[in-house]
Amino acid sequence: MERDDGELTIGAALSLRDGNVRQARMAAAGLVQAVEDAQRAGGVTVGGRTLIPRLALLDDGGTAKDLLAGADLLIGPYGSGLTGDAGAWAAEHSRVVWNHGGSADEVETSPWLISLASPTSRYLAAVVEAVANDVPGAPTGIGAGDAAGARTVVGAGGRILVGAGPGSFGRAAAAGAAEAASALGLEVAGVVAPAEVPDRVDADILLLAGSFDDDVAVLRRLTARPRIVAAVAAGLREFADAVGPRRAEGVLAPSQWEEGARFQPDVGPRAVDVLRGLRSRLAPGLAPGTAAAHVEYPAAQAYAAVSLALHCVTQTAAGDDESLRAFARALRRTTFFGRFGLAPDGRQSDHDLLVVQWRNATKCIVAPSAHADHRLTVS
């Protein structure tokens, strides 16, 4: 990596007006804060030279990859669809892209993506594992797979209905739920689109993995709710405002990271230092109330992507993308975001996915036990 201007350019393109706007804006705040913190720390040393990171952030709908091709480090977009496109571009151009926002399993296996977040197949699976002891019965037989790749189990108790979106994220989430259910002797009664979830759900568990608006719409119209409800959307603080505190109560969600989870980082700053800057940056853009000072996982994982990328580039003598990719794929480290380590197929394998539950308009960590601050409750 030969630079004559003393700068190290970090390029990123986020869709800040379309698609997953909520999460993309949080991610943008994380990227900006991470680069500013690195600048205040005096930059990074690469090949014996001190370089000052500079962020080139484009709001382009995720289509400006070629405009960013001259950047030294590339950060991916938010959303599995856009990240999949970025992964295809990265493979064509042999460029490493640091993936913070596309967790679909088929996306994380793209050979030039370096993914920080747990793959989507773990989202609903983590919830199923957390609640397995709180549902009755065991199946009597296993049926054929459905269009989403889930195995439908025909049997007695512990019936699960999955409402999943049509894209790669929904497919992977549903497949992961089915695999976990099968291993635990539970019954997946069906996988349907969120709009097809009935107002009165005849199941013990309802799992939702649509868009934020899809999940919210289902929960707002339910007239009979199962004993256990989980929604990917409930991982965000504004979920309670969107559905109302009564409907939010008791809902579970997978989460890549929560402020209450504490890790001892060996790469990058401590959580307390990261949170100080992120709270200040995010608070003006959030609605008044208890959410104003709360940092969500999209901001945290974007910040961690920058921290990890900067660490790897300082440790790679050649500085080229091939060396950077090889180093990152063999790396085992911990940031304030949690553990990092990739499986042979490129998916993130070492990071712990959390399960949270809404209690009195507050998210509480209920699984895994190493990070839980409350016990899981079932109505």
Per-residue confidence band for 81, with pLDDT thresholds at 50, 70 and 90:
confident
Residue-wise pLDDT for 303-351, tens only, equals: 999 999 999 999 997 778 999 999 999 999 999 999 999 999 999 999 9
Note whether 253 and 270 are within 8 A (CB).
no
Q: Which of 301, 289, 370 is nearest to 336 (CA)?
A: 301
Q: What is the mean pLDDT of residues 118-143?
A: 77
329 exposure class (CB count in 10 Å sphere: 0-12, 13-18, 19+): middle
The pLDDT value given to residue 127: 97
150 compared with 82, residue with greater pLDDT: 82
Which phi and psi angles does 144 have, rounded to 5°?
-75, 160
> DSSP assignment of 349-379, as one string?
-SSPPEEEEEETTEEEEEESTTT-SS-----
Q: Which of 49-53, 98-102, 162-166, 277-281 bottoms out in mean pLDDT, i.e. has the lowest? A: 277-281
Q: What is the mean pLDDT of residues 261-288?
A: 83
Q: What is the mean pLDDT of residues 256-277?
A: 93
The pLDDT value given to residue 2: 52
Residue written as token pair 């699984």: 367
Q: What is the mean pLDDT of residues 91-117?
A: 96
Per-residue confidence band for 10, with pLDDT thresholds at 50, 70 and 90:
very high
Residue-wise pLDDT for 233-257, tens only, equals: 999 989 999 999 999 999 999 999 9
Q: Which of 19-33, 107-121, 193-207, 324-338 bottoms out in mean pLDDT, i.e. has the lowest? A: 19-33
Helix or strand (DSSP H, E) at 11: strand 7-14
81 exposure class (CB count in 10 Å sphere: 0-12, 13-18, 19+): middle
Take residue 48 and report the two structure tokens written for it. Answer: 């014996």
Q: What is the mean pLDDT of residues 255-275?
A: 93
Q: Above pLDDT 70, what percent of the chain? A: 88
What's the pTM value of the predicted model, to 2 decimals? 0.85
Report how far residue 34's alpha carbon sits from residue 53's, in angstroms, rounded to the nearest whole number.
10
